[in-house]
Amino acid sequence: MIVLGESILASSNAVVEVGRETEHVGQLVLLAATSLVIIVCFWWISFAFPQHGLLTSLRTALGWGYGHYAIFAAAGALSAGIEIAIDVEGGDVALTPAAAAATLAVPCAVYLLFVWLLVLRRQSSPRVNVAVPVIAVVVALASFAPHSLQVVAALMVVAVVVVVAGRDRSAVPVDRVEV
């Protein structure tokens, strides 16, 4: 939660700073809205399912805890990716469009993959267990698409819809899941 809050703060500060120096305010507003959508999707996917019942043994708890390093790293990298996207908009970065987009798309893909692996996989329907990893790969490949940041945001919204709608209601309650 703190890392996602820092992402919002960092992107807001960067938009304000770059907004003073550019005439493309509309593009910055679109970028800010896109970033906010992605951050909200991160939060929503992470908390779509309860997690307390997943920690059924020391081995599982250690894997769950250490696996969250990748989730936290991806959330932190998202903030950096947002700032790079803003700097690209301001003309301050000499990256190719695909490389600049990858700084935001790849952390989103890593985040989706690890949240699926650690939280969603054992509590979701088979459709979700196929769809989320596929969406993660498509999110990473979206770096090469035109308007890639908006494509990533749209794919993250699709991931939220898939996760929330695809809950396996017939599954064993999370408190009884064994690893």
Rounded to 5 degrees, φ, ψ at 73 are -65, -40
Element (H, E) at 162: helix 148-165
Element (H, E) at 18: helix 2-19
pLDDT of the residue at 64: 83
What does the pLDDT profile of the chain (179 residues) look like in tens digits? 566 666 666 666 666 666 666 666 777 778 888 888 998 899 888 888 777 777 788 888 888 889 889 999 998 898 888 888 888 877 777 888 899 999 999 999 999 999 999 888 888 888 999 999 999 999 999 999 999 999 999 999 999 999 998 765 554 444 444 44
pLDDT of the residue at 172: 45
pLDDT of the residue at 177: 44
One-character DSSP codes across 37-49? HHHHHHHHHHTSS
Residues, the chain = 179
pLDDT of the residue at 3: 61
pLDDT of the residue at 12: 65
Q: Break the chain into its structural domains and give their ranges.
A: 2-176
